[in-house]
Amino acid sequence: MAKDDMLDGSIESLAAALRAGKVTATGLAERAIENHASRNEALHAYKTWEPEALRAQAAVADAAFAADLDFGPLQGIPVSVKDLYGVSGYPTFAGTPKPLAGKWQVEGPVVQALRRGLAPVTGKTHTVEFAFGGVGTNVHWGAPRNPWDAEKHRAPGGSSSGAGVSLQTGTALVALGSDTAGSVRIPASVTGCVGVKTSMHRWSTAGIVPLSPSLDTAGVLTRSAADAAVAFAVIDPLTDAHPLAFLAALRDVGLSGLRVGLCDWFFEDCDPGVGEAVRDALDALAPHGVRVSAVEFPEIAACHDVFRQGGLAAPEFAAFINGEMRDWKATLDPNVAGRFERMEAIPAIDYLARRERLQALSAAAGDRMADIDVLVAPTVPITPPDIDSLTDGKAYHTANMAMLRNTAPGNLLRLCAVTIPAGLDKAGMPVGLQIMAPFGEDERALTVACAFEAVLGDSRSRLGTPPLCRD
């Protein structure tokens, strides 16, 4: 495998090449370091980048290979981590202007699973401050640049704002993110990647700075659905199969007879080319036996009304900031601080009423999902905005709500979801196709994503290479 192609391969192919001695973990690490040097100044994916730590971790992976010790398919594969996760030896800023207390460097089960698999950590990627936002901006550290527009600094998606960018720059093959209202799926969608939002409580959120404990989920971003399946199986505590066997099992499932539901609500007010890209992808899948039907889903609009009032995240976030993080309140991003008075003024009776309302809507949505296998929609209904257009609070709020519109229902209704690239919109920016499955059916969402990808192609074959990542 040529050096220039090292990090363009799949996890499956690189795992085989590592075990055959065709590449080394050290070689992959050096290529990631070279790519960071040539691309990160422009694209700004990382808050913390530690090349010597990366080299040391890669050397451990190579030593294990030399001793015939195999710790799984991510051994030696570079992984980036959102700067909301605790990683030993790395500060955690959570997008704030100063590092958080040492307790937030403690590794939780998700990071520990990668450590056990000897996956070298490339660094900590940028996040929206305290993960509270879907656009990807950060007043303290700046916003990573979406690599698909060579002219404008377009939003990378938030809150895992550096995650998708890190994958496209060729510095990582897996990126850890978190998703409270879309914060894995949004950056994955607008950067042309795959993003997995796990079912609530499927993966532990210990070791991750919280935003809304009622809604927070951990997840991964990758460049392909196949890579996402492998990474999922490495981390997932309920998956007993070897990750590559897990992927093979998913690939054995065909599309014939798959019942796909489409709800018009998700297609309302889409920017030019967004809805069309998703429908075109579904048209390409139809000859393979996919059965698409329109579905009524009133729970989606109902939960969106709750979301527009602040949902559960706003009061839970306010409680966290006014409690443990009170020393960080004075330096909050103005786009957050400007709404904080309203957030902390939500009465407890309203918060409890929202919880009860969402529980009822979630139960009704679960019943409705019994009539279909998956619900499909555009992941993000708008073209990612130009950062320069968001200088005033009203413009930012409008863009933020639009970015989160199609993903937040998945969290509020307790669904799991995977987004895959569908095409490009009229502005030449990536469009994500969101696959939503019932609570606890994460394997189903991944199976459908892999089956769709087998027909449609992965990110590179369907979308090409981002203009700012072409050598």
The tens digit of pLDDT for each residue in 47-105 reads 999 999 999 999 999 999 999 999 999 999 999 999 999 999 999 999 999 999 999 99
> With contact defined as beta carbons under 8 Å apart, do 453 and 224 qualify?
yes
What is the phi-psi region of residue 30: left when phi exceeds 0, alpha when psi lies from -120 to 50, beta otherwise? alpha
Q: Which one-letter DSSP state was computed for residue 207? A: T
How far CA 244 is from CA of 123, 196, 224, 249, 274, in Å, comes to 26, 17, 14, 9, 33
pLDDT tens per residue across all 471 residues of the chain: 334 557 899 999 999 999 999 999 999 999 999 999 999 899 999 999 999 999 999 999 999 999 999 999 999 999 999 999 999 999 999 999 999 999 999 999 999 999 999 999 999 999 999 999 999 999 999 999 999 999 999 999 999 999 999 999 999 999 999 999 999 999 999 999 999 999 999 999 999 999 999 999 999 999 999 999 999 999 999 999 999 999 999 999 989 999 999 999 999 999 999 999 999 999 999 999 999 999 999 999 999 999 999 999 999 999 999 999 999 999 999 988 888 888 999 999 999 999 999 999 999 999 999 999 999 999 999 999 999 999 989 999 999 999 999 999 999 999 999 999 999 999 999 999 999 999 999 999 999 999 999 999 999 999 999 999 987
What is the phi-psi region of residue 133: left when phi exceeds 0, alpha when psi lies from -120 to 50, beta otherwise? left
pLDDT at 302: 98
pLDDT at 14: 97
- The CB density around residue 240, as the number of other CB atoms within 10 Å, is 9
pLDDT at 338: 82
pLDDT at 5: 58
Helix (H, G, I), strand (E, B) or coil at 120: coil
Please give the positions annotated as active site: 82, 159, 183
- With residue 138 as reference, give the H or E element that holds it: none
Q: How far apart are CA 393 and CA 158, in angstroms?
A: 17
- With residue 422 as reference, give the H or E element that holds it: strand 416-424
The tens digit of pLDDT for each residue in 180-205 reads 999 999 999 999 999 999 999 999 99
Q: How far apart are CA 206 and CA 218, in angstroms?
A: 10
Distance of CA 112 to the CA centre of its chain: 19
The pairing of beta strand 79-82 with beta strand 121-125: parallel
φ/ψ of 219, rounded to 5, equals -160, 180
pLDDT at 84: 98
> With contact defined as beta carbons under 8 Å apart, do 195 and 173 qualify?
no
Q: Residue 101: CB partners within 8 Å, gap ≥ 6?
A: none
Domains of the chain: 3-469 (3.90.1300.10)
Tell me the HSE value of 373 on the side-chain side, using a 13 A CA sphere.
16
The pairing of beta strand 46-49 with beta strand 121-125: antiparallel
